[in-house]
Amino acid sequence: MNSDKGSSVKQPATAPKQAQRVLGVCYGGGHVLMLIPVLEHLRSLGYEVHVLGLTAAGIPLTEAGFEPLGFLDFLKDDDTRAIEHGKRLAEKMHCDGKVVSLEESIAYLGLSYADLEDQLGVEEAGVEFERLGRQAFLPVSILRRVFDQVQPDVVITTSSPRAELAAVKVAAERKIPSVGMIDLFGGQVIGGRLLTDILSDYVCVPFEGTIPVLKEWNVTRDQMMITGNPNLEWVTKVPAVQDRSWRERHNLKETDILALYAMQPETRDYCDLVEDSLVQAVQQNPNLKVAVRAHPCQPDSDAQLVLDRLGDAGLPTFSDSLSELIYACELLVTGNSTVALEAVLLGRKAALFYINEDLLAHGLPLHLYYDWVTFSTEVAHGARAISQVTCETIQDQQQRRAKVCKDWHCDGKSHIRIAEVVVNAIESKKNRNVA
């Protein structure tokens, strides 16, 4: 910052005397959409913001005016082993041209796999990757490179594993305060391992129901701040009434009931559970139609396979926005995803599916709070839950929406509350250093 007293540059009234560096680390989907409003607010306050945008996060960060870093920025000439692994893995795992460049996929997959080998050894790394896929990654060594370059004063992430968790670990190593944002309930487990086995110094939770879940994972109440989730705030800006335009474009009748299947990049067992339930449901209810939307990390061909199984009851959504689709449907069908909560926030019903009944470890237990949400681990139950959905009044949807928005603190200010936690984390560190 220019220290010349005659400088005409006027700093924001709330800006620090010397710009502190904030490092954001996030994946795509709902994770990056949580983080962007917080980073924008911190930047408006005069903080120097850097962000590592992983996989699908790069595009929305760029569109928001940031210059996101990627693993490609930290790939060295002598990372030959990582490059070899990256090319091998990208042949199977890269979604061509959809959300990330091939070069970035090679860097991300290769550096992460090489780090896994460094941690576990070649043989054990192969076993873990075969068992968990990308969830086996915890690229701490690569995040150390990021920290070396950025030199952050505070780190903010969401609750994803892999590189986000690695960032929290490196922050702890270097005694840099970290802030974590929980999108839903927290405490997910994959392959018998808690995804967030070390949580941030400060944990921002979306609503009161998250607190008992995190306490089970030994997060203290003092660490948790109830802030809301910025990715859910968009529901406060749209009317609750159903938009008929999408339905009209697809020639749906007044008696047709529309379910939206928001796909998730899950195991084959999970996909079979949901998709077998949908196929049975359309057989049980001839008025049921199913719009199928691939996850941003999935190719459209995955959605087409589901559409082929549904036949005339299936509707493609390749170029339609998520909000438009939720707006048009009566029912959202998915698993552990913020998309389910977004639908419920708009007053829609939801049918949630899991292959494990352990809610604490695997679930999004919205059905424990709202009687218009179902939870299924078997095809027969799931098909029945979907097929029995009926059309309902606007008043019903509006009443649901008002209740859920209040419960989840959707008032347009969650990003400000989270930014305040970040600022307080920086100030607490400065005060400790002075002491």
pLDDT tens per residue across span 104-158:
999 999 999 999 999 999 999 999 998 888 888 899 999 999 999 999 999 999 8
What's the rounded Cα separation, in Å, for the pair 226 and 220? 13
Rounded to an integer, what distance in angstroms lies between the CA atom of residue 363 and that of residue 427? 36
Q: State the average pLDDT over residues 288-294.
A: 96
- Helical (H) or strand (E) element with 425: helix 414-434
DSSP string, 133-189: GGGG---HHHHHHHHHHH--SEEEE-S-STHHHHHHHHHHHTT--EEEE-SSS---E
The C-alpha atoms of residue 193 and residue 325 are separated, in whole angstroms, by: 34
Residue 187's pLDDT band (boundaries 50, 70, 90)? low
Rg (CA), the chain: 22
Q: What are phi and psi of 293, to 5 degrees?
A: -125, 120
CA atoms of 415 and 206, how far apart (whole Å) = 11
Tell me which residue of 240, 243, 208, 246 sits closest to 225, measured CA to CA. Answer: 208
- Kindly list the distances between the CA atom of residue 39 and the CA atoms of 15, 35, 151, in Å, as whole numbers in the listed order: 14, 6, 17
In this predicted structure, what is the pLDDT of residue 355?
A: 79
Are 259 and 291 contacting, i.e. CB atoms less than 8 angstroms apart?
Answer: yes
Fold annotation for 237-407: Rossmann fold (3.40.50)
pTM across the whole model: 0.74
pLDDT at 196: 53
Cα separations (Å) of 353 from 72, 183, 373?
36, 18, 11
- Helix, strand counts (H, E) of the chain: 17, 14
> Which of 189, 191, 186, 146 has the alpha carbon at shortest distance from 167?
146
Q: Which CATH number fits the domain 21-229+411-434, given the four candidates 3.40.50.280, 3.40.720.10, 3.40.50.2000, 3.30.465.10? A: 3.40.50.2000
Other CB atoms closer than 10 Å to residue 43's CB: what's the count? 16
Q: Which amino acid is at 226?
A: I
Q: In what order do the strands lie in the sheet with 349-353?
A: 314-316, 288-293, 257-262, 331-334, 349-353, 373-376
Q: How far is CA 365 from CA 185, 241, 244, 302, 325, in A?
A: 8, 26, 30, 27, 23
Which pLDDT score is estimated for 3? Answer: 37
**pLDDT category, 209, cuts 50, 70, 90?**
confident
Q: Tell me the mean pLDDT in the region 404-413.
A: 90
Residues 396-407: what's their mean pLDDT?
Answer: 87
Task: Identify any residues that bridge with 24 across adjacent strands, giving them in sequence order.
Answer: 51, 156
Q: Does residue 341 carry a pLDDT above 70?
A: yes
> In the numeric block, which tokens belong to residue 344?
């419920």
For 224-276, how does the pLDDT look when each residue is reduced to its tens digit (9 = 90+)?
999 999 988 887 787 766 667 899 999 999 899 999 999 988 878 889 999 99
H runs (alpha helix) in 285-413: 300-310, 322-328, 338-345, 359-362, 379-387, 394-407
Tokens representing 325 are: 């689709």
Lowest mean pLDDT among 162-176, 355-369, 385-399, 418-432: 355-369
CB contact at 8 A, 69 and 53: yes
Domain ranges across the chain: 21-229+411-434, 237-407
Burial of 34 (0-12, 13-18, 19+ CB in 10 A): buried
Buried b (16+ CB within 10 A) or exposed e, 242-278: beeebbeebebeeebbbbbbbbbebeeebbebbbbbb
Fold match between 21-229+411-434 and 237-407?
Answer: yes
Q: Which of 224, 280, 289, 295 lies closest to 256, judged by CA?
A: 289
